[in-house]
Structure 1
Amino acid sequence: MSVAEALRAARLPKPDGAVVALTVTLLALALFANEQLAASIDFTLSSLLGVLPFLLVSVALAAGAKASGADALIARAFVGREVQMVAFAALIGALSPFCSCGVIPVIAALLSMGVPLAPVMAFWLASPIMDPTMFVLTLGTLGLDFALAKTAAAIGVGLLGGYGTYALTRAGALADPLREGIGNGGCGAASIRSHKPVVWRFWKDDARLAKFSRASFDTLLFLGKWLALAFLLESLMLAYVPAEAVRGLVGDGGFLSILVATLVGVPAYLNGYAALPLVGGFIQQGMAPGAGMAFLVAGGITSIPAAIAVWALAKKQVFALYILFALAGSLLSGVLFQLAVRA
């Protein structure tokens, strides 16, 4: 038996990326920069404590949506005329609780059920940028103006991609967008097919209350570990990255600096929630707000894990269109936000 077969037979748990990164970073500090270790731990704990009220609210929102079945409301965005569906899909995408990973099987379900590509593209683009949890954490880390602007960017990018796709499909392009063999199952897809009513007072149902408790724990653990990693990395950035270098690259708020932030946001993105403190740190170091917005929006849509999932799901033409709309929308969001800040 090979080593790989032995590991598979042992059914070892899959390593957690955030926990591994936290452990490796702390060990590296202990071995090579012990003088920074205590300062980074103190910064991380203080930052987590500061964002804790927003974190708890965001956890309650996410867990409540699951326990009540409110995520099933998303299906209502895909009924009616296609032009109207695009607008509703962009709005629902920005407000829905689906993350960039969870939205993938939902997209497969929608397309396999015959929903037109244009509203699906609008939802696909808007959903990873903003959700209720993201809004609350953005409010806590970057402020109300940034949170509102990022929500508007999510809707705007969705509209750009949705109506752009609508124009192409009306011209006869982009037929059969899914790859061969892609079905409609998977996590999150059931909520699209669900016609069950939302139970807002879920705490009166023991099963739903138990679901709320499990979802709260899972969400708190997920957000907590990623935010801890983000604050740890932010402490290192503030300690070792010269503010002059940040200002020189993305600090003037011009078109070139926003373009650089857009392109860098694709491979550099760790996690939608982890990126918030990092961008806050970059802005403290001199990054222009518009560049920060472009980085967040571009990374949310086109981060490497999400892009790989899209590549596996959709045909090449649809994938290329997805990337094009994502980059164009991110760049436009950054430029408009920078102009608004200056005004």
Structure 2
Amino acid sequence: MIWEFIQNQILGMKWMSTLIGNLLEKIGLDTSSRMGGSVQFFLYDVLKITILLCILIFMISYIQSYFPPERSKKIMGRFHGIWANCIAALLGTVTPFCSCSSIPLFIGFTSAGLPLGVTFSFLISSPMVDLGSLVLLMSIFGSKVAIIYVIVGLVIAVIGGTIIEKLHLENEVEAFIRKANAVDIDMDEPTQKERLSFAKQQVIDTFKKVFPYILIGVGIGAVIHNWIPESWVEKILGSDNPFGVIIATIVGVPMYADIFGCIPIAEALLAKGARLGVVLSFMMGVTTLSLPSMIMLKKAIKPKLLGLFIGICTVGIIIVGYAFNAFQYLLI
């Protein structure tokens, strides 16, 4: 009962949905109508995600202040083999929220001489699974789905990085990165005031960058939730279509968003009858393989390695999607 209260009223903020619905009814807008329901969905999700966004970014950025790039590089350099991949994947959970922000760190780690497979484990993990996604997923899908999503995301990151390491593709990294000279700069340990100031600035910067995508994502979710017939979603992304996971993964790739923009779309699709694995595959495709991030990554690595990276992530996402579909009855 306590956990249900936390999940529904604190993380999910169901009280806010009720409050917004009551306010809309008082001004004469019928929330049971399509238009009224869309307005309620939009206002509720924008406010909920924005509040969670600011709180989570502040907390995660404060934690991140203990893991600047130089320290992260030293931590990963202490480990070898698959353990190095595991550490890199875990460090990815306390770094930026989208793939485009992760790529500069990936380039820096690679230039510093860290094993290629280790840096790729970081690159896969960073946008796909972070502490923010864990809390946000709990607020929508529940703790079981959220925890398993993060675990399988880390597994994909570790396996993907290990495969790339075994293939010895260092020459597939652009020469200007391989020949770069890394400079270690000893920096003073930040004070508590500086850590709090850093976290506050990260909230402001990330909010400015992410908020437009929240509006777009919630807008799309509101349309799906109230205007798209349930039969359409079930036909394309429901259990009757065995290719739903593949379709969702492919559709997600051209989009550019992060977990905060994907959540409302995923929430609406699931409510309309889409399978859980389909929804999560869509989210993974958007956050890990967005077209803008692939264009950025192409500047750093050659086509062969880029194709392998995309292939590993795509296959992993599709396998995870079908697994979630198969065990959906145990999770929600």
TM-score (norm 1): 0.76
Tell me how many residue pairs correspond in the alignment. Answer: 295
Indicate which of 228, 234, 241 corresponds to 2:228: 241
1:112 maps to: 111
Give, as a single letter, the amino acid of the residue that structure 1 aligns with 2:72: I
For the 8 Å contact 2:34–2:227, the answer to whether it is kept is: no
After TM superposition, give the deviation of residue 292 of structure 1 in Å: 0.9
Distance 2:76 2:224 in 1: 42
1:19 maps to: none
After TM superposition, give the deviation of residue 327 of structure 1 in Å: 0.3
Indicate which of 173, 178, 188 corresponds to 1:178: 173
- Compute the RMSD of aligned alpha carbons: 2.8
1:215 maps to: 202
The Cα offsets for residues 64-102 of structure 1, whole Å up to 9 and x where unpaired, read as 235x34344532123232332122222222343453112
2:76 maps to: 77
For the 8 Å contact 1:258–1:331, the answer to whether it is kept is: yes
- Shift in CA distance, 81/59, structure 1 to aligned 2, threshold 3 Å: closer
1:336 maps to: 323
Give, as a single letter, the amino acid of the residue that structure 1 aligns with 2:43: L
- Shift in CA distance, 125/243, structure 1 to aligned 2, threshold 3 Å: same
Distance 1:291 1:38 in 2: 28
After TM superposition, give the deviation of residue 291 of structure 1 in Å: 0.7
Distance 2:212 2:35 in 1: 18
- Shift in CA distance, 78/142, structure 1 to aligned 2, threshold 3 Å: farther
Alignment of 1:7-46 (within 5 A): 40-46=38-44
Distance 1:64 1:328 in 2: 34
Using the TM superposition, name which of 259-268 and 53-62 deviates more.
Answer: 53-62
Alignment of 1:177-326 (within 5 A): 177-182=172-177, 196=187, 199=190, 202-203=191-192, 205=193, 207-252=194-239, 255-326=242-313
The DSSP-based 3-state class of the residue aligned with 1:297 is: helix
For the 8 Å contact 1:138–1:147, the answer to whether it is kept is: yes
Give, as a single letter, the amino acid of the residue that structure 1 aligns with 2:313: A
After TM superposition, give the deviation of residue 322 of structure 1 in Å: 0.5
Distance 2:196 2:92 in 1: 26
2:56 maps to: 58
For the 8 Å contact 1:94–1:151, the answer to whether it is kept is: no
Give, as a single letter, the amino acid of the residue that structure 1 aligns with 2:295: I
After TM superposition, give the deviation of residue 253 of structure 1 in Å: 7.2
For the 8 Å contact 1:57–1:136, the answer to whether it is kept is: no
For the 8 Å contact 1:100–1:300, the answer to whether it is kept is: yes
The DSSP-based 3-state class of the residue aligned with 1:176 is: helix
1:157 maps to: 156
Would you say 1:47 and 2:45 are equivalent positions?
yes
Distance 1:282 1:208 in 2: 39
Distance 1:259 1:43 in 2: 28
Distance 1:326 1:113 in 2: 24
For the 8 Å contact 2:93–2:130, the answer to whether it is kept is: yes
Distance 1:257 1:232 in 2: 23
Using the TM superposition, name which of 326-335 and 87-96 deviates more.
Answer: 87-96
- Shift in CA distance, 267/341, structure 1 to aligned 2, threshold 3 Å: same
For the 8 Å contact 1:95–1:127, the answer to whether it is kept is: yes
Distance 2:151 2:124 in 1: 13
After TM superposition, give the deviation of residue 308 of structure 1 in Å: 0.9
The DSSP-based 3-state class of the residue aligned with 2:176 is: coil
Distance 2:246 2:223 in 1: 25
Distance 1:63 1:318 in 2: 31
Distance 2:199 2:179 in 1: 26
Gaps of 5+ in 1: 1-34
After TM superposition, give the deviation of residue 281 of structure 1 in Å: 0.4
- Shift in CA distance, 198/41, structure 1 to aligned 2, threshold 3 Å: farther
Distance 1:112 1:243 in 2: 50
Distance 2:41 2:296 in 1: 35
For the 8 Å contact 1:82–1:116, the answer to whether it is kept is: no
After TM superposition, give the deviation of residue 124 of structure 1 in Å: 1.3
For the 8 Å contact 1:86–1:122, the answer to whether it is kept is: yes
